[in-house]
Amino acid sequence: MTNPFSSLQPQPLWTYFYELTQIPRPSKYEEKVRRYVIDFGKNLGLETIEDAVGNVIIRKPATPGMENRKGIILQAHLDMVPQKNEDTDHDFKQDPLKPWVDGDWVKATGTTLGADNGIGIAAAMAVLASADLQHGPVEALFTIDEETGMTGAFGIQAGLIQGDILLNMDSEDEGELYIGCAGGTNANVQFTYQDVAVPSGMAAFKLTVKGLKGGHSGLDIPLGRGNSNKILNRLMWVSQNRFGLRLSSIDGGSLRNAIPRESFAVVTIPEAQKEPFLDYAKEFKDMVRNELSAVEPDLTILVDPVAKPAFLMDEKTQHNLLNAIYACPNGVIRMSNEMQGLVETSTNLAIVKSENGEVKTQCLLRSSVDSAKTDLEQMIQSVFELAGAEIQFDGQYPGWKPNPDSPILKLMQDVYQKRFGKVPEIRAIHAGLECGILGGVYTHWDMISFGPTIRFPHSPDEKVNIGTVEKFWIFLVETLKDIPGK
């Protein structure tokens, strides 16, 4: 397709971002984009390294007269979250995205845009390729698999990176500087069930919850959006007790770090309870839409007749599963006492999926307080163990403790105020930034995270504001010029 960003500024950044939208790069499938940045660095004649786990490091020498400045690491992640609308035909492993300009915003047709973290990648590339910017020694660190486990950051080896200051370009509000983030843990739950025959006299239905906004399970968790897994389970729990609902299969959510937007189940209802069930389903839809009207105006709940399934889940496991999902904590657990408006602890009931005699459920827990994260782990463990499920925790990553006395923070505050006439806001983020992991290896680093304004990341509604991309670029360029000496 024709580059829709050809008139946007800064042109080099937008050109590289467009090229990135044409390269499939979902998490765990970064081979093509990794080759793209490796070839990019080598074609510029720059030292280009691929480490043992697949991260790419490109080094650019200082511009003349800037050799004695502290080394800067420009850091962004190569992967993107693959989310699409149900009616969009798109293979994230093969197909290019379809970006377009909508007024002041850039979006993609029916899918995530990949501005998280494609804009950061493109900015680093534009710095590496520039012939006229002033900067000290620069390293671009492109990590893999940030969205599904931060395995790239976890794989970074001590002594590989030479710089002193890390500029993480993975934040999503222009005019804000981030100096801390939450840590996280995955809760992986497994129920085992037996297939049983469908009794006679049963009517079968497909239940669908869709039309929710979804979004980032950290950044968007305080917005009170609907969770399709919780809504669907609520309908089934009541219908199990009132109408004898039996569950055949369930498929809700797809990514641990995205608030689930769509959930589906195939169920049966005794013929004698069919009409009361359908009446209740309509009542339930109206009730939930009323509850969430301010945040989920497009919520849809469908109950469609289908052919009888080949089997049902055994009744005991179904009962335990629906009880556990209903009781499982979800959403904001506690707000921060230290920073107004910041979520301290939360959890997202991300995935519930049955297949081959197993129901697998996954939650992503986040907290900026380690003890609170442990408490939440134990809370969720107690719920699922009472229900007879197995639970394991993995993917633990540390938070990043704020340092209000950071020298790079002071410098960037001054640069921003001088260039834009106001002091940027200082924030911590309720999401997992790679800074916490990387800073655990390179303990001497001074770190900060910033970026342009991105809305609805991790959902097909993702968009990036064009004007803030230009401000982000100007801010980056001015910061590089003012980095102090060693």
Residue 320 CA to its chain's centroid (Å): 30
Q: What is the pLDDT of residue 93?
A: 97
Rounded to whole angstroms, how far apart are CA atoms 438 and 399? 11
pLDDT tens-digit map of 138-160: 999 999 999 988 999 999 999 99
Percentage with pLDDT > 70 across the chain: 100
Hey, is 263 helix, strand or coil? Answer: strand
pLDDT tens-digit map of 152-209: 999 999 999 999 999 999 999 999 999 999 999 999 999 999 999 999 999 999 999 9
Average pLDDT over residues 476-486: 96
pLDDT tens-digit map of 43-53: 999 999 999 99
Q: What is the pLDDT of residue 338?
A: 76
Contact between residue 121 and residue 149 where contact means Cβ atoms under 8 Å apart: no
pLDDT tens-digit map of 301-342: 999 999 999 999 999 999 999 999 999 999 999 998 878 888
pLDDT for residue 86 is more than 90: no
Average pLDDT over residues 107-120: 97
Average pLDDT over residues 10-29: 98
Q: What is the pLDDT of residue 486?
A: 87
pLDDT for residue 1 is more than 80: no
Rounded to 5°, the CA angle 256-257-261 comes to: 85
Percentage with pLDDT > 90 across the chain: 91
Q: What is the pLDDT of residue 443?
A: 93
Nearest to 433 by CA among 171, 217, 55: 171
Q: What is the pLDDT of residue 397?
A: 86
Contact between residue 363 and residue 187 where contact means Cβ atoms under 8 Å apart: yes
Contact between residue 454 and residue 462 where contact means Cβ atoms under 8 Å apart: yes
Q: What is the pLDDT of residue 84?
A: 93
Q: What is the pLDDT of residue 313?
A: 98
Helix (H) or strand (E) holding 417: helix 407-420
Domains annotated for the chain, with CATH where assigned, are: 11-180+399-482 (3.40.630.10), 185-397 (3.30.70.360)
Q: What is the pLDDT of residue 76?
A: 98
pLDDT for residue 20 is more than 80: yes
pTM for this structure? 0.74
By annotation, the residues acting in catalysis are 79, 146
Supply φ then ψ for residue 28, to 5 degrees: 80, -5
Nearest to 352 by CA among 455, 241, 233, 186: 233
Q: What is the pLDDT of residue 117?
A: 96
pLDDT tens-digit map of 348-372: 999 999 999 999 999 999 998 889 9
pLDDT tens-digit map of 24-70: 999 999 999 999 999 999 999 999 999 999 999 999 999 999 999 99
Average pLDDT over residues 95-110: 98
Average pLDDT over residues 459-484: 97
Average pLDDT over residues 293-301: 97
pLDDT for residue 77 is more than 90: yes
pLDDT tens-digit map of 392-431: 999 888 888 888 899 999 999 999 999 999 999 999 889 8
Average pLDDT over residues 130-134: 96
DSSP string, 344-364: EEEEEEEEEEEETTEEEEEEE
Q: What is the pLDDT of residue 300?
A: 97
Helix (H) or strand (E) holding 283: helix 274-291
Tell me what the pLDDT averaged over the chain comes to: 96
Q: What is the pLDDT of residue 358?
A: 98
Q: Is the dihedral of CA 44, 158, 151, 225 positive or negative?
A: negative
Average pLDDT over residues 201-218: 96
Contact between residue 5 and residue 110 where contact means Cβ atoms under 8 Å apart: no
